[in-house]
Amino acid sequence: MSTDAAAPVAVVGAGVIGACTALRLAREGRRVVLVDRLDPGEGCSFGNAGAISPAAVVPMALPGMLRKVPGWLRDPDGPLVVRPGYALRAAPWLARWVLASRRSAVQRSSDALAALNRDTLDGYRDLLDADQFADLIRVAGHLYAFRSRPAAAGGRLAQALRERHGVRTRWLDAGELRALEPALAPAYACGLLLPDNGQTVNPQRLVLTLAGNLAACGGRVLRDEVRHVEVRGGRLELVAAGGRVPASAVVLATGAWSRALLRALGTDVPLETERGYHLMLEDASVTPGRPTMLADRKFFATPMEHGLRLAGTVEFAGLDAPADWRRAQALLRHAQAAFPALRASRWTQWLGHRPSLPDSVPVIDRLPQAGVFVAAGHGHLGMSGGPGTARLVADLVAGRRPFVDPAPYRHDRFGLRGAPRVPATPAHEARPLGR
């Protein structure tokens, strides 16, 4: 660990992962500074679908999915697009994603996700006070609406994984589906209810509340852009646009932007951004009773405190390409096909950058440099993964036995060059950074 024990633990990235982690560390009595170039909750955690799922045990890549991909790619409004100019860049990640869809790999990822996410709601109960929890989080289940009962290998495996992890599910026939969600079009003939799942009514406000709780227990929120982490003589410093921030430990929770910071530290992970869009309908004429996943279109319609949010789908185009707002607009057309009575005249649109690893399992680990940790790559499941990640990071920082087996979350599991595994205890000098 760094010699500068009087310095705070610096958590970089004030999304849901960094905010949960910083608060957890502060609750354990550590001095903490949470650093972000934006205000808390303005990255990917701002505009997601808000689903919080103890049942998040199904990775994204499943057997048989590869067969569906060409059809998706032919549809410019479909669930998955790869911008032509980005196809070569995305190819290595997509190849790993295909490998991750093998049954044995899916099983491994599922176990890792289950261990991290199963107590997510209790985790939020710990991090929020009772009034905040009641105000921000609802537990009314999730509904998956299908045109026909999923019969392919992937669908069957998904159900088997839920059963393996004791997730309660209820399959609904057309009549039961209509009874639960009368506004759904008759084309949706089958439903899957996950009754124990929850949602936040406002992901950004959830993160802001976590950051507020951090401040209330003595932590500091600092707005600054971190250029790199410097490790010199066992001392850690953030080198930021606004100056240097000494730290006793550093946690990189920088979401989709983590790869460059990690590479500068000699570590590489196959982190890619799966871009997603939302359309926030302020005056929707239809509001489902709970987050409802339109399974054929791969997006959620989630009731939120400020309207109905349509959020999801995947676009590969990197971190810097401008938004393609046609994809956000398409969400409304698809939602109107699913909810024929849906009308709206006021909306806002948003593009977010999911931090995604091919096997759907985040990297939560210590780096070779003593005192430097990473918590990134939560993909489609960061709102669910926040509390569990915070617990695991706190265990790693404290050097105590982790509450879950940490092996599945290791940064070197992909075997990329530049990610040597060295014993974590001795101080380890990083090579010069970013120069």
Closest CB to ligand FAD among residues 145, 226: 226
Distance CA 373, CA 301 (A): 35
Count of residues near ligand FAD by CB under 6 A: 43
* Site for ligand FAD contains 197 (CB under 6 A): no
276: contact with ligand FAD by CB under 6 A: yes
What is the distance between the alpha carbons of residues 88 and 172, in angstroms, rounded to a whole number? 42
Candidate residues 43, 79, 303, 368; the one interacting with ligand FAD per rule CB under 6 A: 43
Q: Does 389 bind ligand FAD (CB under 6 A)?
A: no
42 sits near ligand FAD (criterion: CB under 6 A): yes
Taking the CA atoms of residue 407, residue 408, residue 411 and residue 416 in that order, the dihedral angle to the nearest 10 degrees is 110
Of 36 and 272, nearer to ligand FAD (C-beta) is 36
Instruction: Report the distance separating Cα 309 and Cα 331, nearest Å.
Output: 10
Confirm or reject binding of residue 34 to ligand FAD (CB under 6 A). no
Q: Which one of the spans 9-17, 78-86, 143-151, 182-190 is the region binding ligand FAD (CB under 6 A)?
A: 9-17
Identify residues 352-371 at the interface with ligand FAD (CB under 6 A): 352, 354-355
The piece of 153-161, 335-343, 351-359, 421-429 that touches ligand FAD (CB under 6 A) is 351-359
For ligand FAD, give the closer residue by CB, 207 or 286. Answer: 207
What are 140's two structure tokens?
């009314």
Q: How far apart are CA 96 and CA 270, in angstroms?
A: 9
Four-CA torsion 186, 190, 194, 199, nearest 10 degrees: -30
Q: Does residue number 15 form part of the binding site for ligand FAD (CB under 6 A)?
A: yes
Helical axes 16-27 vs 203-216, angle rounded to 10°: 20
12: contact with ligand FAD by CB under 6 A: yes
Q: Name the residue nearer to ligand FAD (CB basis): 49 or 172.
A: 49
What is the arrangement of strands in the sheet containing 198-200, beginning at the earlier edge strand? 51-52, 198-200, 137-138
CB burial of 373-382 (b: ≥16 within 10 Å; e: otherwise) equals bbbbbbbbbb
Residue 16 engages ligand FAD in binding (rule: CB under 6 A):
yes
Could you say whether residue 209 binds ligand FAD (CB under 6 A)?
Answer: no
The answer to the question of residue 253 lying near ligand FAD (CB under 6 A) is yes
Question: Residue 317, interface with ligand FAD (CB under 6 A)?
Answer: no
Nearer to ligand FAD, 154 or 255 (CB): 255
Distance CA 327, CA 296 (A): 15
Min dist. Cβ of residue 384 to ligand FAD (A): 4
CB 62 within 8 A of CB 157: yes
50 or 155: CB nearest ligand FAD: 50
From 108, 259, 278, 366, residue interacting with ligand FAD (rule: CB under 6 A): 278
Q: Is the CB of residue 55 less than 8 Å from the CB of residue 246?
A: no
Contact indicator for 165, 159 with CB cutoff of 8 Å: no
Distance CA 219, CA 308 (A): 34
- The answer to the question of residue 37 lying near ligand FAD (CB under 6 A) is yes
Query: Is residue 335 a contact residue for ligand FAD (CB under 6 A)?
Result: no
Q: In the stretch 211-240, what mask flags binding to ligand FAD with x, by CB under 6 A?
A: --------------xx--------------
What pairing do the DSSP bridges indicate for beta strands 9-12 and 32-36?
Answer: parallel
CA atoms within 13 A on the CB side of 32: 31
The CB density around residue 287, as the number of other CB atoms within 10 Å, is: 15
Does 347 contact ligand FAD by CB under 6 A?
Answer: no
Q: C-beta of 207: minimal distance to ligand FAD in Å?
A: 7
**3-class SS of residue 253:** coil
Beta carbon nearer to ligand FAD, 83 or 156: 83
**Binding-site member from 7, 11, 14, 361 for ligand FAD (CB under 6 A):** 14
Instruction: Decide whether 36 or 181 has the Cβ nearer to ligand FAD.
Output: 36
Examine residue 380 and tell whether it contacts ligand FAD (CB under 6 A). Answer: yes
Starting at the earlier edge strand, list the strands of the sheet with 220-223: 220-223, 32-36, 9-12, 249-252, 372-376, 363-366
Based on the shown chain and the rule CB under 6 A, indicate whether residue 383 belongs to the binding site for ligand FAD: yes
> Which spans of this chain sit near ligand FAD (rule: CB under 6 A)?
12-18, 35-38, 42-45, 48-51, 225-226, 253-257, 276-278, 300, 311-312, 352, 354-355, 376, 378-384
